[in-house]
Structure 1
Amino acid sequence: MRKTYSTLAAASLALAAALAAPAAHAADYAIDPTHTFVTFEIDHFATSTNRARFDKKEGTVSFDRAAKTGKVEITIDTTSVNSGTPAFNKHLQSADILNTEKYPTAKFVGDKFVFNGDKVAEVSGNLTLLDKTLPVTLKASKFNCYQNPMLKREVCGGDFETTLTRSQFGVNYGLNYGFSDSVRLVIQVEAVKQ
């Protein structure tokens, strides 16, 4: 009987300790703009691929590996689009495509994280572009966290990508010429723990 009480008491103490233990909290990270790149590419008459990137972006990430939850917000300055060719940049900024005068930013907010073990495998959320908000899932081709030796802080990041149907956002330029409606969007991101 005494053994039963001892076992019951030990189990009660273990349960109380587990309940009293601090809950896992999400860690907050700030996106490092020097190691974060937002690029896109689109087929050009099935002959070559047009590529460009956005030079200005900012955002935050909050995630909890133990709970397998998180949230990411990335704001992109669409006026900073850079193809490497000034004339093409001007056309990308025009009302034909990004209409940056009227819509100078795009934003991705993801709040559904899918993990493969302790690594983020994909993030689902919404992309707002040209004042239209649509669901988007970014799939990770790699993800890692490491202790940055220079910053003395944890840095997490990876390469994420998705394929957009641009006409869903109202970008129809060139469809009648045979330009692709599909755009590959790649977000290479590193974020520093705060």
Structure 2
Amino acid sequence: MALLLLMILLAAAVFTGLLPSPITRDFSREDATPEAVSPCVPAGATAEELGSITTNVFNATDRTGLAATTGENLSRQGVLVNTEANWPQGQMEGAVQIMTGARGITAAYTLQRLFPAAEVTFEPGREDATVDVVLGTGFDSMLSDAEISELDPEEPLSSPAECTPVDIPQGDPEGADGEGEPDEGETPEQPADTEGSDS
């Protein structure tokens, strides 16, 4: 009887957390989303010509038309805007995320100068130099035309305090931007319309 009473007391103590369970089990769970990495600017890099940069602009807020308006402002500066659309992943906190692969790091940091509080993040799988500008719920506005005109194009771009060095591939990625001549008798393919809605 005393043994039974002791077992009941021990079970109650384990159940209420007073004693650790003698049996532990590691439950499987999905790994957390990897933390965004900021790539380092190539040594000595200065801002690129805005007319040489291609970007996609995404609205990650509930404000209608934000991507379209920002894309229009970028186009006025000479930036080639491929897409203006809502961010597929829904709303994003923060001001602006500029996402780039290894080939677009200098372009990304060039665009960062136009967006106060923007952060540049690295996407290893991105093969071309196109960058994505994702406007978050904390976004107010990009620099005005007058402010952009005052930016020094020769000023070296700077990396964030904690950045990750990235190897920059040499040469053009295979098949990117339709480079290379078509085979004899072939007709070059026309680029697809990538315009999206920004509702």
With normalisation by structure 2, the TM-score equals 0.23
